[in-house]
Structure 1
Amino acid sequence: MTMLKLAMLLLLSASTIISTKAFSPLFRGEARLFLDTADTTIWQELLPTGIFHGVTTNPTLLERAGEPCTVKNLHKMAKLVLEHTDEFMCQAWGSTADELYECGMALSQPSRDRIVIKVPVTQIGVEAASKLIQANCRVCLTACYNHKQAMIACSVGAEYLAPYLGRMTDAGLDGSAECLKMQAITEGMKSDTRILVASIRNAQIMVDLAASGMETFTFSPEVARELFVEPLTTEAAAVFEEAAANGASS
């Protein structure tokens, strides 16, 4: 083997190790946390924490962030996200199953293994999801409001189903109970579909669901920041820094 070939193999091995370390933390296990925003300045703030498996977006979040809801712009946004995380979720749009399918295929084109296409769990949305899945496109069925819809997600083979916890509660339902029923349905049907809990209003609700066995969540920057708020930890960290400074000056 020539020295050039050996150097290339070593470089390839090193890059593979770096890539694996960057996107698959050793002790994360099965948990997947997603940041639910299309605001790129917030991505710059929170993605470097390393706690997020990916970013979720939809047309509403794009509008709120002042980002164009176009295939070209979403490709640009996906590139930014995938430099820091495993997955980028974006939502297809269209008034028919064929339009949703074509849009989803266009959106996922740059990276079918890391871009996940969201479609609503309506009849035409599920029809589009079926076609996308058959085309080896990763799919999240979204805007889920009832545990019975978990049977649809499992049967069509969607990778994710996103129930809107907070909005279900607003509508008079027990949002947490609905999510737990969905989880039980996927287990009962022996499906690999993940219940991606969305519309989370505070960190404690998410923590309670995690303690009950749920492992996949997408949440706002406000909830993300709430996870880091613990005055006793902040105080202890300050004491450590003070001791380190005293030790350095002695």
Structure 2
Amino acid sequence: MSLRFFLDSADPEDWATWMPCGLFHGITTNPTLLRQAGQPCRIDALASLSRRALDLGCQELHLQAWGREPSALIDCAQALAELDPGRITVKIPVTRAGARAAVTLIGQGIPLTFTACYEAPQVLVAAALGARYIAPYLGRINDLGRDGHQELITMQKCVDRTGSSLKLLVASLRSPGDLSRLVAAGLTTFTISPKLAEELFSCQATEAAAARFEAEASHKPVDSGLASRDR
């Protein structure tokens, strides 16, 4: 099992903070995150953003295509993929239009993530079409009154039983406990917010222990000869 984290943000300041720590394999974005970060959702703007992300060591950048019709999705996805072939993965919604676009895009060798997954049968669609990832929304599934953890475990079992190379890119995580619970159940790939990344390093007991180590290290070593005479 190989664990892989992505940073879920379109804010270059978040990227500059978190990418150097080595925790994240890549970055995931979407039009909502772009709006929240004050970034325009345009190909030229995404080209500039992509260069910044990749310069920070992002090995895999997920950019979401837009367009209501399959042809529009295809054109947008192709333009995004061309920004850095091999390191850009294109996200499209797991809709009928998205599925139709995916046939063409996957046939062209463009890596795809189906996004906005809420139900286990959608995972079967992604697996059958040959997508690289599908992104189920854990927290939002829970918000609908369902057991999101159990549903994602079922999704993973579907992938395992089919022998598909599809990976569940779990999104909408709300707490570190969500992460550990799903990893214990066999899921391996997650996109997490900067807020959740902060929480992974917010153990008060660990902070207290680290402070104590620093305090001890600041004291000068006792001379061994003097120490023996003082006994």
CA distance in 2, matches of 1:139, 1:56: 12
After TM superposition, give the deviation of residue 231 of structure 1 in Å.
Answer: 1.2
Structure 2 counterpart of 1:181, which letter?
T
The aligned residue for residue 11 of structure 1 is none
After TM superposition, give the deviation of residue 245 of structure 1 in Å.
Answer: 2.0
The aligned residue for residue 135 of structure 1 is 108
Residue 179 (1) aligns with residue 179 (2): no
Structure 2 counterpart of 1:72, which letter?
D
Flag structure 1 segments of 5+ consecutive residues without an equivalent: 1-28
Residue 164 (1) aligns with residue 137 (2): yes
Matches within 5 A, 1:59-208: 59-83=31-55, 84-208=57-181
CA distance in 2, matches of 1:151, 1:173: 20
Flag structure 2 segments of 5+ consecutive residues without an equivalent: 224-231
Residue 51 (1) aligns with residue 23 (2): yes
CA distance in 2, matches of 1:102, 1:217: 28
CA contact (8 A) 1:112 1:136 kept: no
CA distance in 2, matches of 1:199, 1:248: 49
CA distance in 2, matches of 1:79, 1:31: 25
After TM superposition, give the deviation of residue 248 of structure 1 in Å.
Answer: 7.5
After TM superposition, give the deviation of residue 79 of structure 1 in Å.
Answer: 1.5
After TM superposition, give the deviation of residue 243 of structure 1 in Å.
Answer: 2.3
CA distance in 2, matches of 1:226, 1:162: 22
Structure 1 counterpart of 2:213, which letter?
F
Structure 1 counterpart of 2:100, which letter?
E
Structure 2 counterpart of 1:71, which letter?
I
After TM superposition, give the deviation of residue 129 of structure 1 in Å.
Answer: 1.5
| 1:116 to 1:248, Cα distance in 2 relative to 1, 3 A | farther
Residue 34 (1) aligns with residue 34 (2): no
| SS of residue matched to 1:67 | coil
Give the alignment's Cα RMSD to 1 decimal. Answer: 1.4
The aligned residue for residue 7 of structure 1 is none
CA contact (8 A) 1:37 1:220 kept: yes
Number of aligned residue pairs: give it. Answer: 222
Greater mean alpha carbon deviation, residues 233-242 or residues 45-54: 233-242
- Deviations 1:190-212 (CA, angstroms, capped at 9, x unpaired): 00000011011111111110111
CA distance in 1, matches of 2:160, 2:205: 39
| 1:157 to 1:249, Cα distance in 2 relative to 1, 3 A | farther
Structure 2 counterpart of 1:115, which letter?
I
